[in-house]
Structure 1
Amino acid sequence: MKLLLDENLPKRLKQDFPGHEVFTVRDKGWNGVKNGELLKLMVADEFQALLTFDKNLQHQQNFKKYTLTVFVLNAPINTYAVLTNLSGKVRQKLSQDSLPIGPIITSLA
């Protein structure tokens, strides 16, 4: 599966998803691209999911226009030491036969 890590996530998080094609926004040269345009670029480049720390994204976009899953990582801070604890939950969702379109809030609790 092709995954994109938003620019608000540590790039080290890429290593938590072996067996997947994982890119960062920086890898793709998409730094500073607004969310709506980023989602369009992702669809055009055949990404299946975005991982982000942006809790507002789910309220700002109409996900009926996109065929993407967005994992909103919900934690007190966006450091690798904290966010790696959410990776197992994301991997579990990624292993399912099909992903829901739109946001999935992934929390520590």
Structure 2
Amino acid sequence: MLLDSNLPRAFATLLPGHRTHTTHQRRWSDLDDGPLLDAAEQDFDALMTMDQNLRYRQNLQHRRLRIIVLRAKRNSLPALAPIAPAVLAALAEVPAGELRILSV
């Protein structure tokens, strides 16, 4: 799974059993949405982001990535921690190519 740059790296510790990297670790922080999705599809099966507008700016219809969009008041670990169980459940059930929005 790839964590977008708008999520704290430490959020990955709340997702046991998933190989998680950040866009920063992959040196993809400067990529725009389309190139980021293209790059992510080469190595990952899911992208997690707080970018609420991704679904409006990109045609996601033919993507293989599962995209999990988190909605929270802040992108801090304490604000996002309560949503971790829902993220784990979504990763288990969302099929490839779909987007799921999860709110805290």
TM-score scaled by structure 2?
A: 0.93
- One-letter amino acid of the counterpart of residue 90, structure 1: V
Choose the corresponding residue for 2:98, options 102, 106, 109.
102
- 1:17, distance to aligned residue in structure 2 (A): 1.0
In structure 1, the gaps of 5 or more residues are: none
In structure 2, the gaps of 5 or more residues are: none
Q: Taking every aligned residue pair, what percent have the same amino acid on both sides?
A: 33
Runs of 4+ residues over 3 Å off in structure 1? none
TM-score scaled by structure 1?
A: 0.89
- One-letter amino acid of the counterpart of residue 73, structure 1: L
Per the alignment, residue 87 of structure 2 pairs with 90
Q: CA RMSD in A?
A: 1.2
SS at match of 1:95: helix
Per the alignment, residue 30 of structure 2 pairs with 32
Q: Is the 8 A contact 1:93 1:99 kept in 2?
A: no
Residue 1 (structure 2) pairs with residue 9 (structure 1): no
